[in-house]
Amino acid sequence: MIKADSLTKIYYSGNNSYTALKDVSFSIKKGEFLSIVGRSGSGKSTLLNIIGTLDKPTSGSVIVNNKRLDCLTKKQLDQYRNKEIGFVFQSFHLEPSYSVYKNVEMPLLIANVPPKERKEKILDALLKVDMLGKEKNCASQLSGGEKQRVCIARALVNSPSIILADEPCGNLDSVNGRVVMELLKKLAQEGKTIVLVTHNMEDAKMTDRIITLKDGQVISDEIL
């Protein structure tokens, strides 16, 4: 489903350059729950951003569902991010002045989903993350765990096939972290492909496969 082929990412700053990824190749099957682990600066977030088309590799390519991402136009990339990908961010990035409902609604508005269908999908997504009944609450009034659950609801409301989670438990306590990980595991069991970036081995062990990065290179690829 996802195939990364010789991915290299070099950041340039004036005359200096920094290699974040060096010839990284791997493939992920549909429905796989995969974690990418490594120390800070190992290139795991960069890898996730490249798969999510938020960033471009310096060389190499990513193929998702038989489509080479570097061959897509701007419009096609926007559609890919909207329909194929769901992002879960460490800092949630919910709009604090919007209600839970409005926050979850955003991807559906972008996808031009009709209002009636929109409502059904939002309530369904909130039900999955156990946030039904709080849809009218303002995002700023939620706890960290609740925010992350709303973030997950927003990621899956458009029924994407891939969910990219960047340190989803990074800002949560252990109890809420566990809840979020259980939720992601459940989504994987339902057939979603989940790529999790974490530096917490406890969380990584809950996934089906662990790719370890060091200095921008894959040092291990372990199926659990």
Partner 1 sequence: MKFYNVLPLIKQEFKTNIKYILFAFLLLTAIFSVALLTISLSISMPNMIYKRANEVFSKEEIRLNLSNIKYAYLNKIFEKNVYNVHIKYDAENIIMRGAILSTDSGKLAANKVGRVAFFQDNNYILESNLEKEFILEGEKWSFKDNAKNSKGNYCIWLNQRTSRELDIKIGDKILFSSEKIKKPFTFYVKGIFSDDVVSSDFLLPFECGEEMLKTTEYNTRCSGALTLKYFDEYLQIKRELENLGMYVYPIKQLEELLFSKSIIQGSLFAISLLLLLAGMGIMCNILQMIVQSRIKLIGVLRAMGMSINSISLLYISIFEVVVIFSVLSGSIIGYLFNNYSSNLLTTLFPEDISGCLYEVKSILMALILLNLLMFIPWRVIINKIDKLNVVQIVNSEN
- Site of interaction with partner 1 (CB under 8 A): 45, 49, 52, 54-55, 74-75, 77-83, 85, 87, 89-93, 95, 97-98, 102, 105-107, 109-112, 166
Residue 9 identity: K
Cβ-based nearer residue to partner 1, 79 or 217: 79
- Least Å distance between CB 63 and partner 1? 19
Are 95 and 59 in contact, with CB atoms under 8 Å apart?
A: no
- Cβ-based nearer residue to partner 1, 54 or 123: 54
- Please, what is the minimum distance in Å from the beta carbon of residue 224 to partner 1? 27
CA-wise closest residue to 47 among 160, 164, 162: 164
Q: Quote the least distance from Cβ 218 to partner 1, whole Å.
A: 21
Q: How far is the CB of 25 from partner 1 (least distance, A)?
A: 22
In this structure, is the dihedral angle defined by the CA atoms of residues 190, 191, 196 and 200, taken in order, positive or negative? positive
Could you give the CA distance from residue 165 to residue 107 in angstroms, rounded to a whole number? Answer: 16
User: For residue 109, which phi and psi values (nearest 5 degrees)?
Assistant: -65, -45
Q: In terms of CB distance, is 85 or 204 closer to partner 1?
A: 85
Shortest distance, CB of residue 26 to partner 1, whole angstroms?
A: 21
Pairing, β 217-223 against β 209-214? antiparallel
Q: Which of 163, 165, 160, 150 is nearest to 101 (CA)?
A: 150
Q: Which residue has the tokens 């190992």?
A: 42
For partner 1, give the closer residue by CB, 55 or 208. 55
Is the CB of 171 or the CB of 209 nearer to partner 1?
Answer: 171
CA–CA dist 18, 12 (Å, integer): 6
φ/ψ of 195, rounded to 5, equals: -110, 120
Shortest reach from residue 80's CB to partner 1, in Å: 7
Gap between the Cα atoms of 137 and 115, Å rounded: 20
Measured from the CB atom, the residue of 26 and 98 that comes closer to partner 1 is 98
